[in-house]
Every structure is written in C-alpha cells, then in structure tokens.
A and B are shown apart, each in its own frame.
Chain A
Amino acid sequence: MITAIGRKTLSVYIASAELAALLLGAVTNGFSLFRKGRRPIFQVFLRQIFFTGNEALQVIFVISLAVGVAIISQISNVADAGRGSLIGKIFVWVVIRELGPLITALVIIARSGSAIAIELGQMKYKGEIQYLETLGIPGEQYLLMPRILGVGVALFILNIYFNIVAVSSGILVASLGWQIPVATIKQGIISALSLQELFISCAKSLIFGLVIAAVGCRAGLNVGDSITHIPQAGTRAVMLSLILVFLSNVLVSLIYLL
C-alpha cells in the first residue's frame, strides 16, 4: 500500500516536472521565433493557431450561443427583470470569468489536445523526431514550442470570441424574450466587467491553452515502440488535460480571491 502510494506520488512528481520543463522550454524557446529558422517555426506556430482556433470557431459559436441563451434564461427567471445590474454581474461572473475559459478549453482538449498527442506519438513511433534532429533541427524548437504557444494564443482568442457571442446572444434573448431593455443589461454588464475580470478570463484561457498543449506534447513524446501506445497517448492527454484544466481553474480563482 505504502509502496503504491509512493510510486504514484513519484510518478505525479515526475509528470509535473516534465510538464513544467516543457512549458518553460516553450516560453524560453519562444524567442527563437524571431531568430534563425524563424520561417519554418513560425509556419508551424501559425498552422497551430489556424487548426486550433479557426477550425473550432463553428463549434465554439454554437456552444457559446447556447450557453448565453441558457444562462440569461435562468438569470431572468431568478432575478427581477428590472435588476439589470444583478443580471450583468451574474453574467460576468458565470460566463466571462468561469464558463468562457472552461468551455473553450474543453472543446480544445477534445479537438487539439488529443490530436497533438497522436500526431507527435506517430512521429515518435516512426522515428521522425530523430529524422528532424538529424537535420540539426531541435525537436523542442520546431515541434513543441510552436504547438504549445500556438494553442495558448488560439485559446486566448477563442475565449474572447466565446464571451462576445455568449454575451450578445444573452442580451438579445433577454430583450426579446423577457422584454428587459438592452441598455439595462448592457449597463449591468459594463459596470460588473472590470479590467481585473477581463484579465482573469484571458489569463485562464492562456494558461489552459499552454497546459493542454504541453500535456498533449508530453503524451505524444512518451509513446514507445508499440503502435498501441499512440491511441493511448491521445486518451491519456485528454484525461490529464481535463484534470489539470479544472485544477488550474480553481487555483487561479483562489489566487484572485486572495
């Protein structure tokens, strides 16, 4: 029992250290975007933003629309239609601060986190990471850094997009369905939406993006000699990303409260 706990603790410690090293490496290597070999690395970075961000826009649009409508319906039922400031506050707290970063992160975990793990896993399995290194191109610069930063940037943008659509749809439904004046809700949201709230939302999305990509990269790089390790890497990346995103969400919220 004690051995099992010790082994588990050790594996968690190693995993955390590897993830921290990946994130740190991505940030420090980020400067190489502006140095030698900028173009190929920059292309991977842009491609990652495109695949993670642009291709998830439709899904995020539908979900944010639904979330905006659902939240405003619930708030309007609970709060008095005349209390626009309360509606605005709840909207900012629930949608912008919590649901925006979380839901976009969940979509990206499902779409890109597993995809990164499988892609890198396949490259590792086929020996292509060694091929890259043979060319003198460090894997962490060409494969890891642009993916980690790319997903971080994409999630940051998607979160802003999510919030705009969710808030707009909420305002529209509230004014049409509950006859709450648009100006009242708008005023409520603006008064509740401080720079700090915006910063928390953006910081969360950026952190989630970096974590999801780092977890995917680590899972892919840990693929061994068996082809069955590749789908396992995808599953592992999804599960670990889910846990870490929720944990870091709590952590950021707690830091904010303190």
Chain B
Amino acid sequence: MIRMTELAASGLCLPLSMTLPAGLSAAIHTSRELENDVIVALLLGFNLPVSGQLTVCDVDPGTVREPQLPEFRKRIGVIYRDGGLISNLNVWDNLTLQFAYFSGLKRDELKNRADEALKQVGYSGSVELLPSRLSLFERRVVALARAFLIEPDLIICQSTLDGLTREEQALLCRLLWQYHNQGFERTLLFITSYPDSLKGLALDFIYSTGGSLQL
C-alpha cells in the first residue's frame, strides 16, 4: 500500500524508508510536528520529494496528473490533527460534502448513509454546529465518520490520538480498528511526534524518522 525508499524532502530530518503492505497497520514516529505535515503532503501528492521513491496505492503521488488526483485522493482518508473540517460548513455539510461529491446519491439515501456513519462513530451532538463549536475529539470523530462514508483503502491518522483523554483515545482506536478489521485491504497509518499516543496499539510496524523509539 505504501512504500518509501530513502525518501528525502524539505522538512524531513532524515531520509525515510518504510513498507506498509495493504491490510496492515503501521506508525511513523516523527521528531516534530512539521514532519507530520510533510509526510502527509508527500503521501497525498501535495509536495514532491527531493530524492528517493514513494508509492501509495501502487502509484507515485508526485506523478498523478491533475484530473486523476481526485480519484487517487478519494482512496485515502486523512484524519488531521484538528479534524480537517471546513470552518464555514456545519457538521452535516462537512460530513456529506465528499460523499455527495463522489457518490451523486439522492438526498434521502445520502441522509441515511450519513446518519449511519454518525451513529457508527457515536457522535450525538447537533449536526448544525460549526466546527469551531466542537471539541477536538468531536472534530476528529466527525472526520472519521466522513472517511467511513467514502470507505477508503488507506486511513492516515495525523496526530489523531494526540491531546485526548485516555477514554477518547480508546474510543477512537476502537473505531479505527473496527474499520481496519472490516476489510482485507483496509490499511491504517498513524503519524505522530508523541510516542505515548501509540502505546497499547496493536501495530504491525513502527518506523521512526530519527532516533530510537521506546514504547
């Protein structure tokens, strides 16, 4: 699913090599927050590496042409540190935006699917709220529900478990693993600067961009 070979880019401390086969889970421990942004940007094709090789879902993100980018990015769900919600759209619009854009489903069907996703993640707040009114945990939960709707092959969690209480972390992990175990190809990648947040996760691989890592 992801293969990096001596990948170097502006903002990365050291060249990174890793392999994450489809259907497995891994974490990349970085030395600072900036590296998390850089890795996500590389994986999605926003930035180009200085050297080294990268393939995601069997393609080099840097070579994907503009018209094919939407389809490529649709295969990857990203849960950003702040949720990655659009601030001037309410919870409902944030949740359904991507799904409506790609599925073209009718309003009723869309509503049913979105309601299901919200129920699945256990979001009980108002769907009329703007993201600024949500807690960090709620924002990430909504982002997770949005990703579940699209059913991506790969979910990237950028510092998703950082800054949460133990209970909130456990709940997010349960949801992520539930999704991960539901399909053969469903792959999870955690990127974080805080190794503490990886404690207790049943990860298949752990990589580090610099220094040793003790969990």
Contacts and interface: CB of A to CB of B under 8 A. Distances in A.
B3 interface: no
Interface stretch (B24-32, B100-108, B166-174): B100-108
Nearest to B67: A138
A36 B70 CA distance: 12
Contacts of A41: 101
A62 B176 CA distance: 57
B104 A37 contact: yes
Interface size class of B (residues with CB under 8 A): 20 to 34
Interface residues of A, number: 21
Nearest to B101: A37
Given A36-B104, A37-B104, A130-B46, A137 B87 contact: no
A136 B46 contact: no
Contacts, number: 61
Contacts of B213: none
A18 interface: no
Contact of A135 (B88, B97, B104): B97
Contacts of B69: 133, 136, 138
B85 interface: yes
Contacts of B74: 135-136
* B interface secondary structure, majority: helix
Contacts of B44: 133-134
A96 to B, nearest CB: 37
Interface in A114-134: 119, 122-123, 126, 128, 130-134
Interface string B67-93: 001111110101010001111100000
B98 interface: yes
Nearest to B86: A128
Contacts of A138: 69-70
Interface of A: 36-41, 119, 122-123, 126, 128, 130-138, 142
A130 to B, nearest CB: 6
Contacts of B72: 136
Contacts of B100: 37, 39-40
B73 A133 contact: yes
B86 to A, nearest CB: 5
20 contacts: A37-B100, A37-B102, A37-B104, A40-B101, A123-B86, A123-B87, A132-B86, A134-B44, A134-B73, A134-B78, A135-B97, A135-B101, A136-B71, A136-B72, A136-B73, A136-B74, A136-B101, A137-B70, A137-B101, A138-B69
Nearest to B147: A135
Nearest to B146: A135
Contacts of A36: 101-102, 104
Nearest to A39: B100
B72 to A, nearest CB: 8
B97 A137 contact: yes
A131 B97 contact: no
A119 to B, nearest CB: 7
Nearest to B75: A136
Contacts of A134: 44, 73, 76, 78, 80, 84
Given A37-B101, A40-B100, A130-B46, A135 B73 contact: yes
Contacts of B86: 123, 128, 131-132
A10 to B, nearest CB: 26
Interface in B104-157: 104, 146
